[in-house]
A and B are shown apart, each in its own frame.
Chain A
Amino acid sequence: MARTAIPGRLTKRAGWWVARLVDRREETATACTLVLEVPDWPGHLPGQHVDLRLTAEDGYQAARSYSVSAPADGERIEVTVQRVPDGEVSPYLIEGLSIGDQIEVKGPLGGYFVWRMTDPAPVLLVGGGSGIAPLMAMIRARRAAGSRVPFRLIYSVRTERDIYFADELRRRVREDQGLDVAYVYTREVPEISPAQAHRIGVADVNSHGWPPQLEPTNFVCGPTGFVEAVSDILVALGHEPRRIKTERFGPTGA
């Protein structure tokens, strides 16, 4: 369907914006970034999420939450979706939605798991699997603003092939001053890696995070079990609970 500019078009009804899929990028074999155009989008902060709603022919609806993975860019927003096997919504978002299709969006939502550029505290980002999505929005927002706030990312993935935004992260580490990235592999390590495959532990957080004395802001995002484990480690290492912000994506550990 070609996009036509209709004066006074209805861009939002009952709190839901009508968006259109304008582009998609494969991140891994099972994850995809969707670029949506949302007319009159008011903008969002890095870390916020949206609800996406699908409607079947007979009116049946299903909605799920997705973090915005890039900073606000006019009317365009990006979400990065991991395909959950047998999931109701995520497989459709990845395979069923075609360029030009419309979808309903509510948001921006959530005002707590948010990085504010005016906050000078160093930042630790800890992401598991698709939990990288809102953290990537923060990394990109930092870059876009030319911020010098020191950032560290610990990214837990099953294998090297499961890294989202792999090329961009490599480039960011080279070009963005004050951004460090460390990977933890839970299933299979890259050939050159000295470490064994393991789940994230105290040693990882201790060597790649900030000491609590620096009073960093810690953002932890991923599957529930991952977030529980990492936030417990941060508390045990002496970080103030209120400096640990969490977003739990789903019920399973990974």
Chain B
Amino acid sequence: MGIVSPGFQGRRRPAEPNLPPGQYLTEDFPVLSAGPTPRVSLTDWEFVLSTETGAESRWSWDEMWALPTETPTVDIHCVTHWSKLGTNWRGVSVDTLLDGVDTAADYALVHSYGGYTTNLPLDDLRDGQAWIVHQYDGADLPAEHGGPARLLVPHLYFWKSAKWVRGIRLGLTDEPGFWETAGYHDYGDPWREQRYQGD
């Protein structure tokens, strides 16, 4: 237990088993990004998956959304302490994109329009844990929340769910991304409160 703050009550809520430590519930959808919101036109949009050998698979906007989509309902947890439960998305499972891709990679570096990057183990993108999403709550994903499409990896802190996603590079070694280089945790498990390096 920490240092008790005399008279601090906090906002008493019914116990919420789905809320990781140090998080509070919000009904809003706050925004965390390091720079301006990039605007990407759908005609220029493409998604590139590359492997450690340099082999590439590419999808245009229309090709991507011709793939089978799923509608995950998931809880999301931002490192700035807010969580939002039961959010609704539509997108393509990363399993679908990885299907038939020949790789021995252990790591993925996700990159975005605007230059943002984030890294995670490839296993965390597999087995129904990650999607490329283009709709939130039944409507097109707004640009400030990562539209036209973002990665969704809800079991890690939300900075791993790269906005304005452009591609994934698979590699044999772990390469820290943008926030990871700036002192944030390499893995980012909200249930273990892995916010910053050393947590």
Contacts and interface: CB of A to CB of B under 8 A. Distances in A.
Interface of A: 15-16, 18, 51, 53-57, 59-65, 88, 92, 96-98, 101-104, 106, 109-113, 224, 228, 231-232, 234-235, 241-242, 244-246, 248, 250-252
B73 interface: no
B39 to A, nearest CB: 9
Given A15-B199, A62-B10, A63-B22, A56 B35 contact: no
A246 B4 CA distance: 34
A253 to B, nearest CB: 11
B87 interface: no
Interface string B26-37: 101111111111
A244 B37 CA distance: 10
Contact of A96 (B7, B12, B182): B7
Interface residues of B, number: 39
- Label chain B's interface by main secondary structure: loop
Interface of chain A, main secondary structure:
mixed
B36 to A, nearest CB: 4
A182 B22 CA distance: 39
A65 B80 contact: yes
A231 B36 contact: yes
Interface in B51-106: 80-81
Contacts of B183: 109-111
Contacts of A251: 26, 28-31
Contact of B182 (A16, A51, A110): A110
A234 B35 CA distance: 11
B1 A59 contact: yes
Contact of B198 (A15, A111, A231, A235): A15
Q: Which of B2, B4, B34 has the most CB of A within 10 A?
A: B2
B10 A246 contact: no
B115 to A, nearest CB: 6
A62 B24 contact: yes
Contacts of B114: 241
18 contacts: A15-B199, A55-B2, A55-B3, A56-B5, A62-B24, A63-B22, A88-B10, A88-B24, A104-B3, A109-B196, A111-B181, A224-B30, A228-B144, A231-B36, A241-B114, A244-B36, A246-B36, A251-B30
Given A65-B81, A232-B37, A246-B35, A103 B5 contact: yes
